[in-house]
Amino acid sequence: MMREQILSELVEVISGWPEVVAKAEGESHARGNQDQSSDLDRYIYVHSEVSFVKRSMFIDPRSDDATLDNRIWETGDEWTDRSTGMVVDLMYRSPDWIEGELARVLDSHEASLGYSTSRWESVRSSTVLFDPTELYRKLQLHAARPYPEELARAIIEKNYRLLCCCHSAFQKQKLKAASRNDSVSVNHRTRAFLACYFDVLFALNRVPHPGEKRLLGLSGSLELVPSALRDDIHALMSAGSRNETTELEMILNRMIADVDLCLHASAHRM
């Protein structure tokens, strides 16, 4: 069974569930940059919860390793299709919830620490598979608006401060952890630093954040991006794994100086 057959079956069966009001394809398959390891990500919008029994009756005959009713992040079913080996991730969402997420970002201009606009980008770039009430079309019309300047400023202000400016900045925390040879804390602060760093980078380019995967490749298409970003991140990971405090400080200072140059260039274009 090929991918197209799986997609057709997913649309046909799930669209017949009365709880479902819309269905969309997201992530790499929607953007067209998938590879052999990419999951089939499906956003299922429901007005009420689809019963576990109904979902398991559909998935269990098709998979030997399904993880059903995963509620760690949001309600979802993850499974590997037995006939093709393709991983399918079904995420069940409330229309009210996603409307609120769009309003929070596009209307109220609220920033997060990292990934501030990733759900906006998810709606914006998804491919509609089932939409009888035009719910998803309306969501995408809302999401199609230009990048709000107030939002970009809020994201940059919130995330840049945690890079280097405030007393508890991730740069300082990472260096302190390295000086203690606390590798777990170094790794944790690296993740937080990079989440804020990329949030600033996409915001200053007025491009919605694409999410946590393939950030180095996707950031390469931005107009304003540090030329040594890929090398600096690899060097950051390497020095962090060895708790090399002096080397880490040099790399972090260089990365922040480079993003400062991008911010300065962005300000002169506004």
Q: Write down the mean pLDDT value for the chain.
A: 90
Euclidean distance between CA atoms 40 and 34, whole angstroms: 9
Closest CA to 220 of 205, 236, 235: 205
How confident is the model at residue 164, as a pLDDT? 87
Query: Residues 172, 175, 181, 187: is their CA dihedral positive or negative?
Result: positive
How confident is the model at residue 36, as a pLDDT? 57
- Domain span holding position 250: 149-269
Instruction: For residue 253, give the CATH number of its domain.
Output: 1.20.120
How confident is the model at residue 129, as a pLDDT? 92
My answer on whether 8 and 135 are in the same domain is: yes
Q: Which of 143, 172, 197 is the last residue of a domain?
A: 143
Rounded average pLDDT over 142-161? 96
My answer on whether 81 and 167 are in the same domain is: no
My answer on whether 198 and 138 are in the same domain is: no
How confident is the model at residue 27, as a pLDDT? 56
Euclidean distance between CA atoms 259 and 164, whole angstroms: 12
My answer on whether 21 and 137 are in the same domain is: yes
How confident is the model at residue 244, as a pLDDT? 93
Q: Is 70 helix (H, G, I), strand (E, B) or coil?
A: strand
| Band of pLDDT at residue 135, cut at 50, 70 and 90 | very high
pLDDT tens profile 156-198: 999 999 998 788 899 999 999 999 999 999 999 999 999 999 9
My answer on whether 132 and 186 are in the same domain is: no
Rounded average pLDDT over 4-8? 75
Euclidean distance between CA atoms 258 and 198, whole angstroms: 13
Helix, strand, coil % over all residues of the chain, rounded to 5:
55, 15, 30
Looking at the structure of the chain, the number of domains it has is 2
How confident is the model at residue 82, as a pLDDT? 86
Q: 18-29 burial, b if ≥16 CB within 10 A, otherwise e?
A: eebbbbbbbbbb
Rounded average pLDDT over 192-220? 94
How confident is the model at residue 29, as a pLDDT? 45
Cβ pair 22, 96 in contact under 8 A:
no
Euclidean distance between CA atoms 68 and 66, whole angstroms: 6
How confident is the model at residue 10, as a pLDDT? 82
Please indicate whether residue 198 or residue 212 has the higher confidence score (pLDDT).
Answer: 198
My answer on whether 189 and 129 are in the same domain is: no
Rounded average pLDDT over 13-34? 76
Give φ, ψ of 73 to 5 degrees: -110, -60
Euclidean distance between CA atoms 262 and 265, whole angstroms: 5
Rounded average pLDDT over 250-262? 95
pLDDT tens profile 33-88: 454 556 788 999 999 999 999 999 999 999 999 999 998 888 999 999 888 888 99
Burial class (CB in 10 A: 0-12, 13-18, 19+), 72: exposed
Q: Which of 97, 117, 143 is the last residue of a domain?
A: 143
Instruction: For residue 28, give the CATH number of its domain.
Output: 3.30.460.10
My answer on whether 116 and 36 are in the same domain is: yes
* Residue 3 pLDDT exceeds 70: no
My answer on whether 184 and 56 are in the same domain is: no
Strand ranges (E), the chain: 20-26, 40-46, 67-70, 76-80, 87-93, 127-130
How confident is the model at residue 30, as a pLDDT? 43
Cβ pair 170, 196 in contact under 8 A:
yes
My answer on whether 114 and 230 are in the same domain is: no
Q: 120-144 burial, b if ≥16 CB within 10 A, otherwise e?
A: bbbbbbbebbbbeeebbeebbebbe
Euclidean distance between CA atoms 213 and 222, whole angstroms: 16
My answer on whether 213 and 265 are in the same domain is: yes
Helix axes 183-204, 229-241, angle to 10 degrees: 170
Q: Which of 143, 172, 201 is the last residue of a domain?
A: 143
The mean-pLDDT minimum among 30-44, 97-111, 211-225 falls in 30-44
pTM of the model: 0.88
Q: Output the six-digit token pair for 135.
A: 């719910």
Q: Is 126 helix (H, G, I), strand (E, B) or coil?
A: coil
My answer on whether 137 and 153 are in the same domain is: no
My answer on whether 134 and 153 are in the same domain is: no
Residues found in the chain: 270
How confident is the model at residue 2, as a pLDDT? 62
